[in-house]
Amino acid sequence: MIKAEIFCIFFSCMIVCCARNVSQINFTESAVESDKVESSNSAGSVDVSPFNKNILGILQTDPYLWILVDKEHPLAADYEPDGLVELKGGSYTAGRSGLMLRKPAAEALEEMAYAAKAQGLTLAASSAYRSYSYQAQVYDRNVKQMGQAAADRESARAGRSQHQLGLVVDFGSITDAFAKTPEGAWLAANASRFGWSLSYPEGYEEVTGYRWECWHYRYVGKELAEFIDTYFDGIQQYALQFLNEYASAEDRH
């Protein structure tokens, strides 16, 4: 497995590779040993590595599953996701009425919650889709309550929140204490199996722009969640940065 620390060293090299020739990237799970990205067989055809196959497959999925949304990459003020459905509970509980997700994320939430329920746990969805205007209200409230500097560590400005995608759920108490609950521990160990990825892991504030949020999970789909775990040590930000740079380089060629 590629370690997150090693990724920092290779990231700039990969982007250069992308800019030169996106079909020649040499960064697979075993790249630190001797695996090659591509090799020609005796018939002259090209065998693409599993790493590149994963990339190409992911980039053909819904782009909003892998779009980078952070302090440097905002969504448009008028962006509103298609196919929002209300969370009405089932195997999980909804913290209040009116919570919404895009349909694929809502279905994945139910699938994950059903599995948790089988273990005697009930997941609680406390926050989900937020419009641009609603996120502006949330951010302004946090600034008033905790000050600008503290708010910027854990609250996104309007347009820079993953919640606007309709693919994010904040679970449980929305506090650090959630990590120590049975539900928090279960999500940390199992969420990626159902296509969910922790957006802001502990110790990566300089990378993500936000402090640890053990409750904030983004639905990226099972294929991308496995890709994040396999090649990027579960660090969503690294994987999305890479995919977006890869896609941008491909567009330039």
For the chain, domain boundaries: 1-62+237-253, 67-219
Distances (CA, A) of 90 to 107, 112, 166, 184: 11, 11, 19, 19
For residue 40, the model assigns a pLDDT of 43
pLDDT along the chain (253 residues), means of 10: 45 42 37 40 60 94 97 97 96 97 98 98 98 98 97 97 98 98 98 98 98 98 98 98 92 69
Phi then psi dihedrals of residue 45, to 5 deg:
-80, 165
For residue 155, the model assigns a pLDDT of 97
Going by DSSP bridges, is the β-strand pair 124-127/93-94 parallel, antiparallel, or unpaired?
parallel
For residue 45, the model assigns a pLDDT of 52
For residue 179, the model assigns a pLDDT of 98
CATH 3.30.1380.10 fits 67-219, yes or no: yes
CA nearest to 72, candidates 237, 218, 232, 194: 237
